[in-house]
Structure 1
Amino acid sequence: MSEEVKNPNYWKSLGELARNEEYEKYVEREFPENATELNDKVSRRSFLRVMGASIALAGFAACRRPVQKIVPFSKQPEDLVEGVPQYYASASPFQDAVTGIVVENNSGRPTKIEGNEMHPASSGNTSIFGQAEILNMYDPDRSRYVRKNGERSSVSAFAKFCSDHFSNTDQNIAFVSEANSSPTYNRLKDQAMDQFSNAQWITYEPFGEDNALEGTNIAFGERLRTYNKYDEADVIVSFDDDFLNPAADKNSVENTKRFTDRRRVMSEDDDMSRFYAVESTFSITGSNADNRLRIKSGEIELFIYALAAELSNSVSGLSAFSGYSNKFSDHEWVSVLTEELLDNRGDSILTVGRDHKPELHATVAAINVALGNDGQAVDYLEVPHADNQNNREAFAGLAEDLNNDNVDTVVLVGANPAFTAPADLNFEEALSNARQVIHLSNYYDETSKLANWHLNRAHFLEAWGDGYSYSGTRSIIQPQIEPLYSGISEIEFLNIILNGEQTKGYDIVQDTWQDYYTNDFTSQWNKALHDGLAGEETFSVASVSISSAFNSQASDFISNADPSEGMELVIRPDSTVFDGRFANNGWLQEQPKPMTKITWDNVALMSKKTADELGVKEAGLGKAEVEVISITVDGTTLEIPAWVQPGHADDSITITVGYGREGVGRVANKTGVDTYPLRTTDNMHFASNVSVEKTGKTYEIASTQDHNTMEGRSLLRHATLQEYRENPNFSTYESAYDAEMPGVAYAEEHGEDDPLSIFNPIDEQEYPEDEPQWGMSIDLNTCTGCGVCTIACTAENNIPVVGKREVSRGREMHWIRNDRYFDGDVNDPKALHQPVPCMHCELAPCEQVCPVAATTHSDDGMNQMTYNRCIGTRYCANNCPYKVRRFNFFNYTKEFLTGGDDPEIVQMAMNPEVTVRFRGVMEKCTYCVQRVNRAKINRSIDTNGETKKPKDGAVETACQQACPADAIYFGDLTDPESEVVKTKKNNRNYLLLEELNTRPRTSYLAKVRNPNPKLA
């Protein structure tokens, strides 16, 4: 067995790796100094800013259902039982793709979103954005009414204005829209272009698909969508493409599902794909790679061209690259990848990040075709709503038209270019030249304040709509509740502009679908509503070939490829707030970013080597005071906190956008740094020759990466596929630990099978035979570290947001933490992820020390908390070796949220099946006991009381149901045929801190990688 498997050296941060005096002092206490008191005065107003939408259901959300589906009743219908939730299929739009969802409704209000198992884009799972949409809808900072020149108006007044203003169909009109796949929306778009003779329509997304579409146009002569089927590939090569991250890829849920399906290893005889990542920033996707190469983003282009040149010697279609040479031509990765790709023709995928220029997308598409991957592991789809123009060039042209007074009316549908447009366009000033500006948006945001008319937009959970998934599955979006603030949807908005009158969204959508369902419309419509999708149709797969013009164009752009000199700046969407549209969501702001574990801020990421050269020190512990740097690009300078990220490329700095907003909402305002000023039309995503200096200032960052440390114990076990085959039991207790460890040594000395217990064993509890016994297993081989389990748990279990100040003190309330470990060299480590919920120990240390028996064992084997009995001694947290118990320091739900008012109003915002906790109690993962009990009751009813044991799969915890990697197994341990029992019998199964003999009911499957030995 290798030394790496036997005695790994995992570390969470540079401080832990150094184990200096500061670190030792920090870990002496579970909580930072002054953790027992809140010394800062927190006004109700300041706390509301932190909590944002968590307080939204102050009475206005009850019983407001769409009139098309729900009518008031004086007699309870047979199919409705108060207290039993109802579920409706719908679809969640994100950019121009929808994901199938199922929405849980309680007493007429949606409370939880899950994936739709029948929908191919979700297969029953969601992303962090999908989970957080509930909070977006209930956000009290959303725009509440129509404004005309800043004064309150109405939709009817706007309709009257449109009837008069748009009667002149010859005026110059510019429509600026977010990406949208809705067939109804695009029908209205086509109608607008026909109706107004001098209209232009521009789809503007700060981080869109335009480069990828233009790349396929260069390679094949038409704009096609690349659809990677990761489950059908034996070799995957990613060039700066973070395809597992929902902020970087709108199809991340399906990508994760397909990717992990090909990585699932249940025996030493199984095979798995091999994944190579070439990237600058250490991404979620890169952390799951078998082999990872860190290079500057500006060098990705040279690397791809060098690989194409090497492949051109063996495949046809790449003649333009023949004989080409650059600094990477002799790189060992180029020769290794060439060999791998040639050995796996038709079964490989090459993909490049959508931020890279079209020429790189064209080259990668040409390589895929040359290798025969098209029609196999890669499809190229004909997307009916894709624009044929380059929208970024068109948007820059619009700014020029505005400056030349060539635009009469600007209609903005959901976009916020005053905040997100390239800085050199001065779009805010350009927009002032339009005679009329009309804006539909969720918030009265930066662009709304410049508009003559602002229309408040309905959330998709409040409005009728439709859309296509990434691959073309057609779905209906049906509302779950009447618009809370009487907002209108984008299709109702466009209809008013076109027709000058209000029409219900339901009727507008049905008008579109009448042409789709030509026979027996009502039954087919109702079936689509019920299922959440309209059949199994998808976009047409194009038959592609490398165009004759490609090689001549390729000769031009490879000759213009320049080596990346000096310091570069990489600009990315943020992994939690995206381009800023989710900045006012408290759940997402408090969600630790997957690789840095930073909350409530954005930073400038850099490697340890780069930081040393700049004289920047790494972050401290607890309240992380970090140094602030100034970044100058083309004369524009901004200051931002610096963060040392192990594994980041040298001479490269990565920043994210979406922060530093003003006047939008209590959560978003003055949170983080606005980095959009560094984006220009020439530097949308990358800038070279960047100037970086220290400012001498410091800034406090709230990061959870050093919280709840376990003192260097070996918590995560992993091996290579070859090592697993040679030693299938590598993860067992005996294999993973040295014989000198106290627990093993004691057991060997006394001839016992079990290791030494950390307390005197007591008689084990006897459980009733008719009760199920619950357990969980987490497969680290498929877990990608995306964190959706954490936010799903937050949504399901009414977990409060505590804010940056409290997080920096180690008081975050998440019941599941996602540990991120580094292994190896500080400059180029491997990264591994491990979700850690409550272990539900059979011999639970917490139960031994509670003086009031607030934490006990249930009849079905769960470690349960009795909140009314807890007096807050925190002995249980001190005695928990897994550090998974959370103490509620303050009464977030009463004293701060309502100023002492009746807390029952606030509870309307929450899951009614879960207790709202109060100050001074301990809380933790409950295995979603409310779901368990619901299933037990239903099973008892179905069997006339004969058994309370639900069938396998009848209970899914919130984290399990949300996980797109299907990494979490949960079920009855007394059922030998259950998935969780089969998983626990796997030879990779192990218990966390098994040497303590707590006998956890949650176990793990050790991680297996499949690296190329030539690059190991």
Structure 2
Amino acid sequence: MSEDVKNPNYWKSLGELARNDEYEKFVEREFPENATELNDEVSRRSFLRVMGASIALAGFAACRRPVQKIMPYSKMPEDVVPGKPLYYASAMPFQGALDGIVVENNEGRPSKIEGNELHPSSNGNTSIFGQAAILNMFDPDRSRKVRKDGEQSSVSAFAKFCSEHFADTSQNIAFISEANSSPTYNRLKEQALDKFSNAQWVTYEAFGEDNALEGTNIAFGQRLRTVNHYDKAETIVSFDHDFLNPAGDNNSVQNTKQFTDGRDVTSPEDEMSRFYAIESTFSLTGSNADNRLRVKSGEIDLFIYALAAELAKSVNGLSAFSGYTNKFSDHEWIPVLAEELLENQGESILTVGRDHKPALHAAVAAMNVALNNAEETVTYHDVPHIDNHNNNEAFAEVVESLENGNIDTVVLVGTNPAFTAPADLNFSDALSNAGQVIHLSEYYNETSKLANWHINRAHFLEAWGDGYSYSGTRSIIQPQIEPLYSGVSEIEFLSTVLNGEKPKGYDLVQHTWKDFYSSDFKAQWRKALHDGIADDTGFPTKSVDISRTFNNRVSDFLGNASTAEGMELVIRTDSTVFDGRFANNGWLQELPKPMTKITWDNVALMSKKTADELGVEEAGLGKAEVEMIAITVDGTTVEMPAWVQPGHADDSITITVGYGREGVGRVANKSGFDTYPLRTTDNMHFASDVSVEKTGQMYEVACTQDHNTMEGRSLLRHATLQEYREDPHFSSYESSYDAEMPGVAFAEEHGEDDPLSIFNPIDEQEYPDDQPQWGMSIDLNACTGCGVCTIACTAENNIPVVGKREVNRGREMHWIRNDRYFDGDVNNPKALHQPVPCMHCEMAPCEQVCPVAATTHSEDGMNQMAYNRCIGTRYCANNCPYKVRRFNFFNYTKEFLTGGDDPEIIQMAMNPEVTIRFRGVMEKCTYCVQRVNRAKINRDIETDGATQKPEDGAVETACQQACPADAIYFGDLTDPESEVVKTKKNNRNYLLLEELNTRPRTSYLSELSNPNPKLA
């Protein structure tokens, strides 16, 4: 093994990089002081606020079928077997696109969401938002009633109001809606526009795809949706496009699958795509780049135009850029990128972030066409439900009409512009001029409080609906449970507005789908329900040509591009709470953000150089308090904590939205800082001429990036593709494969200069022949660091949220963490990601020291925890070299079972197959033992009791099933044909801390990158 692999220069934070006194003190203290009692000022109310919708997921739960009385079954419902879950196909809507899902139901109660393998948008996987959606449904803070002028009302009263109020079809009505691809919804939308002669309809998303649609309109003369096929590309160039992050692209699950497929390497002879990222903020997507260039967001346009001018020398279609020069024209990246793109015509992709102005999307579309990528790696689609006008401009016009008193009635469907609208529009004040305001939403939120009528919305798991995936696959949204709070779906709401009576969502959807199926409707309807998709659907691909209008407008684009002087402000969606719609989700609030590892807050990101110029000190290791800064744009000031982000562009500050909310829910309230006031119609995503000053105040930030640090040991192994070809065994610590050893990869005896083992080598180990031996392998070359494994594990295993204060004390309970390392210079490092669950060591150090044998080894090779035996000594955690064991400091569950409004049904929101842990016990990853045992039982039933091992693939752990990159393999190590054994035979396979000879059942495939040697 090379010296670089033995002693990597990986670091998690600036404090660790410096290895100062503060760092040394922090790592010496494995458990914080006063870690045994919740003895400071925490009332039950504040405890509930912090825990919120994590464990107190109650909500007057009902069965899938409406129940009038509680009594035993007199006749067992068909297919219902107590203790055996059922699975139903459905789809999750998000920003006007559906992801196919399968929902696990336990006796009429949805408990877990997985991807639908038949659906192209998910391929059986999910995003963090998909995994956390189950928690949103059981959120006790969701709106529970219809309100009229703030007072409780009813759906029937609202229907009566609609029949009377909307009898006047000539009144001026403004419908303001969130993005929605439902054909039923859009059928009702057309009916509304036909019925009301003076109605207008605007779709408003604070961070939508309008800029991208306007870009294709400029380039091709029509608003088309761009779909990138990353698996078909040899070269990918991203301009500030976080396409692997669900907060940056609502097709992220499919993007991730395709991206990692194009980089799958099983032998030195394999090829992998090359990915270039040009961006200001160190994004999740940028962390997976082979070559990354940090550029201010305000200068991305200069870089794109310089590249277009370089390409214009060699390809047709870009003549409008010929001869153009700017500060990037002589940049070393420009000729290198141009050369590689020209070599890979028809096999490359250029893409730009949806926040950037339409001119950049048009320029990128033109380059893709000129490079023959259109209809090959990039396709353009005519989407029927997309409006033909610019929605951002139309929304501003509606607000202006409101200010002038020209709108009689405003109907808001799902959207929350009182919180998310540009600040200069003064939407809240303008709304007060309307005669009637009607708002449908899941929460009684900022907009609801301004409305005359608030209608509580049903969650998508509670209602019938339909829609299209990002690329056009049509699906039915099938309810899993009766609405917990008698909510109304958006299609039922619109129909009530139109007709004055509440219909059944099922009838509305069926009415639409009868137009799709001209014959044998019943059979095709049932098949679409069962499979979760309609056959032979998808938006048709459009052939495109650059319009003359585009060439005429290029000179205006080039003339408006100028060097971004001074400090700039970049405004983005948040990686976990998005635009604020997930702010009351405790799982997402406590999920560390992929690049900063911050939880429960948003911060102002900046480079080390920028921080030094501002006099801002970075957060040291174990330092919870950071400096506050005041950011002023156009006379509006927002104060928030500053955070130094390695790899961030200089003279640029990035902030995220979605925090600082009030009166929405116990989790969201007072978490973070509201940054929407800095957004205006001129500065929707970027602002220049920004003033930044220190306030002299300090603020506590909960960050996990330095928890469980392993002090520079060889944990994550990485090489370039060329280095791998020169030394295929670069990641091996002289490990070998032995088919007789279930551990597959194990340490041999080492020489005198090698690290000593804490155990004597074992030559033989006996295992029952009739039992599988479980193991896992994680491909770091596929893992993108998205964190969906952590959320999936949380949802599957009833893992509690502990809150910001406890996270700061190092007490987060996640069973699988996702470590993020930096390698190289602080200004321009490479980022690397590594998920770390329990290793399930064959020679487990934790088992050696437990005084009560609470942690033991099972006959099928898993490290188990007997919670009833554990007395909380924490010796096992002290002795675990991987730091993957979690201690329950508080009885989180009991607080709710004794203090909640509905203690009998709180547990209905939890996985019934997983034990609810109590205070004082140790817990950790179990390889989803409940899923393993279910597969064993099913196998016994299939074979009439003849003991046989489950087939390969019969067991998927929660993290494995959710991972959109398919980076996790799990299976029987005694089966030589199993996928996990095949991965462990790969020459990139290695073990964490192999020199300790703990024989982990979990191993890793080292990460590879494919940088351009000309830019090294």
TM interval, shorter chain, is: over 0.9
For 1:234, the equivalent position in structure 2 comes to: 234
Deviations 1:673-705 (Å, cap 9, x if unpaired)?
A: 000000000000000110001111000000000
1:159 is aligned to 2:162: no
Structure 2 matches for 1:362-441, cutoff 5 A? 362-441=362-441
For 1:354, the equivalent position in structure 2 comes to: 354
User: Of residues 747, 750, 759 in structure 2, which corresponds to 1:747?
Assistant: 750
Structure 2 CA distance for partners of 1:35 and 1:541, relative to 1, 3 Å: same
Structure 2 matches for 1:334-353, cutoff 5 A? 334-353=334-353
CA distance in 1: counterparts of 2:379 and 2:56, whole angstroms: 43
Deviations 1:89-130 (Å, cap 9, x if unpaired)?
A: 000000100000000001111000000000000000000000
* Aligned residue type for 2:209: E
* Aligned residue type for 2:27: V
* Aligned residue type for 1:459: H
CA distance in 1: counterparts of 2:164 and 2:900, whole angstroms: 50
For 1:21, the equivalent position in structure 2 comes to: 21
Structure 2 matches for 1:426-575, cutoff 5 A? 426-575=426-575
The alignment partner of 1:129 has SS state of: helix
For 1:119, the equivalent position in structure 2 comes to: 119
Q: Answer whether contact 1:602 1:655 (CA < 8 A) is retained.
A: yes
CA distance in 2: counterparts of 1:698 and 1:888, whole angstroms: 30
Q: Answer whether contact 2:31 2:810 (CA < 8 A) is retained.
A: yes
Q: Answer whether contact 1:894 1:902 (CA < 8 A) is retained.
A: no
* Aligned residue type for 2:161: F
Q: CA deviation at 1:667?
A: 0.4
Deviations 1:523-579 (Å, cap 9, x if unpaired)?
A: 100000000000131001000010111111011111111110100000000000000
Q: Answer whether contact 2:7 2:713 (CA < 8 A) is retained.
A: no
Q: Which moved more, 1:181-190 or 1:33-42?
A: 33-42
The alignment partner of 2:119 has SS state of: coil
Q: Answer whether contact 2:62 2:484 (CA < 8 A) is retained.
A: no
Q: Answer whether contact 2:735 2:748 (CA < 8 A) is retained.
A: no
1:699 is aligned to 2:736: no
CA distance in 2: counterparts of 1:260 and 1:427, whole angstroms: 43
Structure 2 matches for 1:81-160, cutoff 5 A? 81-160=81-160
CA distance in 2: counterparts of 1:452 and 1:769, whole angstroms: 70
CA distance in 1: counterparts of 2:661 and 2:78, whole angstroms: 49
CA distance in 2: counterparts of 1:48 and 1:766, whole angstroms: 49
Q: Which moved more, 1:714-723 or 1:556-565?
A: 556-565
Q: Answer whether contact 1:423 1:679 (CA < 8 A) is retained.
A: yes
Q: Which moved more, 1:72-81 or 1:319-328?
A: 72-81
CA distance in 2: counterparts of 1:745 and 1:116, whole angstroms: 43
Q: CA deviation at 1:53?
A: 1.9
For 2:868, the equivalent position in structure 1 comes to: 868
Structure 2 CA distance for partners of 1:941 and 1:288, relative to 1, 3 Å: same
Q: CA deviation at 1:762?
A: 7.8
For 1:645, the equivalent position in structure 2 comes to: 645
For 1:296, the equivalent position in structure 2 comes to: 296
For 2:716, the equivalent position in structure 1 comes to: 716
Q: CA deviation at 1:43?
A: 1.6
CA distance in 1: counterparts of 2:400 and 2:59, whole angstroms: 48
Q: CA deviation at 1:613?
A: 0.6
Q: Answer whether contact 1:744 1:755 (CA < 8 A) is retained.
A: no
Q: CA deviation at 1:902?
A: 9.5
Q: Give 5+ residue unaligned stretches, structure 2.
A: 737-745
Q: CA deviation at 1:29?
A: 1.5
For 1:740, the equivalent position in structure 2 comes to: none
Structure 2 CA distance for partners of 1:542 and 1:762, relative to 1, 3 Å: closer
CA distance in 2: counterparts of 1:734 and 1:611, whole angstroms: 44
Q: Answer whether contact 1:622 1:810 (CA < 8 A) is retained.
A: no
Q: Answer whether contact 1:128 1:788 (CA < 8 A) is retained.
A: yes
Structure 2 CA distance for partners of 1:426 and 1:286, relative to 1, 3 Å: same
Deviations 1:936-960 (Å, cap 9, x if unpaired)?
A: 0000110112224110000000000
Q: CA deviation at 1:62?
A: 4.1
Q: Answer whether contact 2:734 2:748 (CA < 8 A) is retained.
A: no
Q: Answer whether contact 1:768 1:859 (CA < 8 A) is retained.
A: yes
TM-score (norm 1): 0.97
For 1:209, the equivalent position in structure 2 comes to: 209
For 1:779, the equivalent position in structure 2 comes to: 779
Structure 2 CA distance for partners of 1:744 and 1:521, relative to 1, 3 Å: closer
CA distance in 1: counterparts of 2:8 and 2:763, whole angstroms: 35
Paired residues, number = 1006
Deviations 1:752-771 (Å, cap 9, x if unpaired)?
A: xx963214568976321100
CA distance in 2: counterparts of 1:523 and 1:60, whole angstroms: 35
Q: Give 5+ residue unaligned stretches, structure 1.
A: 737-742
CA distance in 1: counterparts of 2:401 and 2:322, whole angstroms: 43
The alignment partner of 2:814 has SS state of: coil
CA distance in 2: counterparts of 1:136 and 1:59, whole angstroms: 11
Q: CA deviation at 1:40?
A: 1.4
Q: Answer whether contact 2:747 2:997 (CA < 8 A) is retained.
A: no
Deviations 1:193-220 (Å, cap 9, x if unpaired)?
A: 1111111100000000000000000000
Q: CA deviation at 1:165?
A: 0.6
For 2:727, the equivalent position in structure 1 comes to: 727
Q: Answer whether contact 1:718 1:1007 (CA < 8 A) is retained.
A: yes
Deviations 1:779-836 (Å, cap 9, x if unpaired)?
A: 0000000000000000000000000000000000000000000000011000000000
Q: Answer whether contact 1:729 1:735 (CA < 8 A) is retained.
A: no
Q: CA deviation at 1:587?
A: 0.3
CA distance in 2: counterparts of 1:411 and 1:574, whole angstroms: 28
CA distance in 2: counterparts of 1:561 and 1:861, whole angstroms: 62
TM-score (norm 2): 0.97
Q: Answer whether contact 1:894 1:901 (CA < 8 A) is retained.
A: no
CA distance in 1: counterparts of 2:617 and 2:783, whole angstroms: 32
CA distance in 1: counterparts of 2:803 and 2:896, whole angstroms: 12
Q: Answer whether contact 1:423 1:678 (CA < 8 A) is retained.
A: yes
For 2:964, the equivalent position in structure 1 comes to: 964
CA RMSD, aligned part only?
A: 1.9
Deviations 1:14-66 (Å, cap 9, x if unpaired)?
A: 00000000000000021223223323132221111122223445472142436
For 1:981, the equivalent position in structure 2 comes to: 981
For 1:1004, the equivalent position in structure 2 comes to: 1004
The alignment partner of 1:895 has SS state of: helix
For 1:887, the equivalent position in structure 2 comes to: 887
Structure 2 matches for 1:827-838, cutoff 5 A? 827-838=827-838
CA distance in 1: counterparts of 2:995 and 2:901, whole angstroms: 49
Structure 2 CA distance for partners of 1:902 and 1:530, relative to 1, 3 Å: closer
Deviations 1:219-239 (Å, cap 9, x if unpaired)?
A: 000000000000000000000
Deviations 1:362-408 (Å, cap 9, x if unpaired)?
A: 00000000000001000001100010010000111111101111100
Structure 2 matches for 1:622-633, cutoff 5 A? 622-633=622-633
Q: Answer whether contact 2:747 2:994 (CA < 8 A) is retained.
A: no
